[in-house]
Copies of this chain bind each other. A is one copy, B any other.
């Protein structure tokens, strides 16, 4: 076997450093897919550095850079603006990373780094309009209050977004009807419908309008689709389609393998894409040899996952279940992962092994 590229490891053993990240950054337990709106403590979480301790009384959101009218806004200023509440689904760009081989060394996600919350706040678009960006503005640089070191670079977490996408972004100060929990960005975060989570900057404190592309670490080095030789390619943007299933039956504690009784059961789950509405979810109960179309639930909203269900008469024996989503733009989940150096956008189907008793 060829040696694994730098920054990746071949084979199974997760390192102590990966485990340390996994202990902090948790996924959605799959049975929690039963909730159309994810309870706050079950929504996936990726905390880049440390959760900062922010005083809401002195907090300001600054809007500056290439604008005619820089702004400095308190939380009360933001709350006095037009309010929007919307269910929005997003997942981590690294979701699925730990299933790649060789495995890119970073937060070792399996498949469940996702969640859907009722995010409430005000749209960034009208605020940006009032600030009057220059004609040459192309991006907004988003600066957070969490700080650390990555790739040898001391930094606040910073990421940019094309200005054409910024209008639809939500400056959110509420999650599921309450204030943002500390770990979800208290007192203010961005939520950009359809994008992977790296753009949904938590503890957001400054928006800088740029006339040149942002070249900070998280845009120039992090969150790009790398070639195996280490060349950074296109930046990561919108979510590819993915679907997940509530695992039927009950788990074995250690293996999480599912055990169930034979007979009729309704398989359920949720599917989403940042590139178009979900148009189809297919389900296999024979490891991918055959697929049946699931029924789609009514939409929760244009930017939220879509429920699906399919009746299955479970026969005794061992089965491998999987679901595959297709969006309106024609993107479909692959059956096997497409490898890349940093482990982004792995939207391959999840396979669930089920042992049905009897016979």
A residues adjacent to B (C-beta < 8 A): 11-27, 29, 31-32, 34-35, 39-43, 45, 47-51, 53, 98, 105-106, 108-110, 112, 147-151, 154, 181-184, 247, 250-256, 259
Contacts and interface: CB of A to CB of B under 8 A. Distances in A.
Contacts of A50: 29, 31, 247, 250-251
Nearest to A112: B23
A45 B150 CA distance: 28
Contacts of A11: 13
Contacts of A12: 13, 15-16
Instruction: Name, among A21, A108, A147, A149, the residue most crowded by chain B CB atoms within 10 Å (CB to CB).
Output: A149
A17 B181 contact: no
Contacts of A47: 29
Contact of A27 (B18, B24, B34, B253): B24
B19 A183 contact: no
A255 B148 CA distance: 11
A23 B27 contact: yes
Which of A14, A35, A247 has the most chain B CB atoms closer than 10 A to its own CB?
Answer: A14
A2 to B, nearest CB: 20
Given A14-B16, A23-B110, 8 more contacts: A13-B13, A13-B15, A17-B254, A20-B256, A21-B254, A23-B109, A29-B183, A48-B253
B32 A182 contact: yes
Among A41, A183, A253, the most chain B Cβ lie within 10 Å of the Cβ of: A253
A12 to B, nearest CB: 6
Contacts of A22: 19, 22-23
A256 B29 contact: no
Contact of A183 (B20, B39, B108): B39
B148 A42 contact: no
Q: Report, nearest first, the 10 A-B pairs whose CB atoms are least far apart.
A: A13-B13, A41-B41, A26-B26, A14-B14, A150-B253, A31-B50, A23-B27, A22-B22, A149-B252, A148-B250
Contacts of A13: 11-15
Given A13-B12, A23-B26, A112-B23, A252 B148 contact: yes
Could you say which of A13, A34, A43 has the most chain B C-beta atoms within 10 Å of its C-beta?
A: A13
Contacts of A29: 24, 47, 50-51, 183
Contacts of A53: 31, 34
B256 A17 contact: yes
A108 B18 CA distance: 12
A80 to B, nearest CB: 27
Given A24-B27, A256-B17, A149 B251 contact: yes
Contact of A110 (B20, B41, B109): B20
A166 B192 CA distance: 50
